[in-house]
């Protein structure tokens, strides 16, 4: 039986060469991944491989509470932000479509706003998304809508007026 060291180049078939090449490629890919993971673990404060000199960001420092730039976590956060922004825009459009236009202060001024009761909005929007209250809270945080109270509850706050500000 011949070992790998005793085989001459003329004795290896094309099939054998491609198999050796693919195994070599797999080994190189695995090593590349392994090296990258070891480097990542050196900076992971929760890993037993973390260097004692690893800089751990403190609250208030730039980058604290943020994922590494270029990481999959950062990309998922960006994707979620885009998705939520679309839902907020869609909610505002629904309010424009089903709401009533009124004078802003009720004194006959020329400024108009669109308002809708929460119960009516809930019934229309719940077919689009079951996260209507969360989206309303996000829209209020962005200054797009306004309503009384911290939270709106179905049934209890059906007559609460939601005002579209923009």
Intra-chain end-to-end CA distance of the chain, in Å: 82
What's the pLDDT tens digit per position in 95-106?
Answer: 999 988 887 765
pLDDT tier at 67, thresholds 50, 70, 90: confident
Higher pLDDT: 65 or 52? It is 65
Q: Yes or no: say if 144 and 88 are a contact pair by the CB < 8 Å rule.
A: yes
Spans of all domains in the chain:
13-54, 86-164
Which pTM was predicted? Answer: 0.60
Q: Is the confidence at residue 47, as pLDDT, over 90?
A: no
DSSP-based three-state secondary structure for 160: coil
Q: Is the confidence at residue 50, as pLDDT, over 70?
A: no
Domain spanning 86-164: CATH 1.10.10.1540: yes
Query: 137 burial class (0-12, 13-18, 19+ CB within 10 angstroms)?
Result: middle
C-alpha–C-alpha distance, residues 116 and 97, integer Å: 10
């Amino acid at each position: 039986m011949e070992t790998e060291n005793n085989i001459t180049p003329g004795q290896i078939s094309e099939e054998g060469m491609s198999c050796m090449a693919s195994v070599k490629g797999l080994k190189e890919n695995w090593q590349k991944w392994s090296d990258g993971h070891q480097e990542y673990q050196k900076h992971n404060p929760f890993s037993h491989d973390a260097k004692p000199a690893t800089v751990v960001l403190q609250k208030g420092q730039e980058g604290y509470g943020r994922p590494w730039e270029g990481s999959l976590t950062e990309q998922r956060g960006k994707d979620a932000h885009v998705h939520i922004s679309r839902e907020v825009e869609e909610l505002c459009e629904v309010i424009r479509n089903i709401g009533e236009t009124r004078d802003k202060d009720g004194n006959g001024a020329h400024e108009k706003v669109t308002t809708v009761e929460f119960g009516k909005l809930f019934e229309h929007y719940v077919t689009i998304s079951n996260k209507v209250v969360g989206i309303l809270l996000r829209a209020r945080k962005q200054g797009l809508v306004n309503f009384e109270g911290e939270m709106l509850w179905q049934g209890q706050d059906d007559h609460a007026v939601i005002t579209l500000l923009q």
